[in-house]
Amino acid sequence: KAGVTQTPRYLIKTRGQQVTLSCSPISGHRSVSWYQQTPGQGLQFLFEYFSETQRNKGNFPGRFSGRQFSNSRSEMNVSTLELGDSALYLCASQDSMNTEAFFGQGTRLTVV
Amino acid sequence: QKEVEQDPGPLSVPEGAIVSLNCTYSNSAFQYFMWYRQYSRKGPELLMYTYSSGNKEDGRFTAQVDKSSKYISLFIRDSQPSDSATYLCAMTYTDKLIFGTGTRLQVFP
C-alpha cells in the first residue's frame, strides 16, 4: 500500500508570492489534515478535510486555505507569503477520526 | 495553557539506557493517545497507539497512560543510536488531534 505522498518536497518563494502544496493520501483514506511544523511551535493544526468538506480549521489567517478533491487528494494554498510562513508543511491521512494518522514526508517551504 | 504539554528536551543518553518521555494534558475528553517518532527531514511515523489507562508494550517500547493524572509516558528500553529522533505525543477526541511540541532524543554510542 503506497503511503502519503506530498509534492513538492522543497520550495523557495519570495515574500508576497502564493504557493500551492499537494497531498495524496493513502488509498481508501478520506480524511486529510494539514499541519505546519516549526522549531518553536511544533506541529500546529491547519485544517482537516473529509469527503471534500472542511470539517475543522485551526487558528491560522485566511491566507491559508485548502481543498479536497473527489479522489481525496488535497491541496493547500498560502497567499501573500510572509517570512514567518517558512516551515515544514505536513499532510496526514486517516481512515476516520480517532484512528492512526499517517504522515507524508512534508514540503519544506522557505520564504525569502 | 496549552492542551498538551511536552518537555522539549533535548535528552541525551548513552546507548543501553532506559528513556522516559512524558506528556501532560488538560482536557479530560481526550480518549486516544499516540506516540510518533520523527527523524530529521522526515514526516512523523506512528510508534504506539492506545486508548485505555495502563501499559501497552511493543518490543522495546512501552506506552503508559494515566487518565486520572492526565499523564502519558513512552519508555524505551535498551536505547539504540537509531532511536535518536524527535518523539511527539498526540491525543484525540471526536474530531481533534492535538500534538505535543516534541522531545528531541539523542542516544550516543
Whether B42 shows a pLDDT value over 80: the answer reads yes
Nearest to A98 among B31, B44, B100 (CB): B31
Look at residue A20 in the predicted model and tell me its pLDDT.
Answer: 98
A59 touches chain B (CB under 8 A): no
Task: Name B59's Cβ contacts closer than 8 Å, sequence gap at least 6.
Answer: none
Q: What is the pLDDT of residues A28-80, one digit of tens each?
A: 999 999 999 998 788 899 999 999 999 889 999 999 999 999 999 999 999 99
Contacting A with CB below 8 Å, chain B residues are: 31-32, 34, 36, 41-46, 49, 88, 90, 92-102
What does the alpha-carbon distance between residue A82 and residue B107 come to, in Å, rounded to a whole number? 36
Look at residue B38 in the predicted model and tell me its pLDDT.
Answer: 95
Contact B44/A98, CB-based, under 8 Å?
no
Smallest CA-to-CA distance from A29 within A90, A85, A75, A72 is with A72
Contact B42/A105, CB-based, under 8 Å?
yes
Is residue B81 within 8 A of residue B109, CB to CB? The reply is: yes
Look at residue B2 in the predicted model and tell me its pLDDT.
Answer: 78
Contact B43/A4, CB-based, under 8 Å?
yes
- Burial string for B19-43 (b: 16+ CB within 10 Å, else e) reads bebbbbbeeeebebbbbbbbeeeeb
Mean pLDDT, to the nearest integer, of B46-53?
A: 89
What does the alpha-carbon distance between residue B74 and residue B65 come to, in Å, rounded to a whole number? 9
Task: Name A53's Cβ contacts closer than 8 Å, sequence gap at least 6.
Answer: A68
C-alpha cell at A87: 516551515
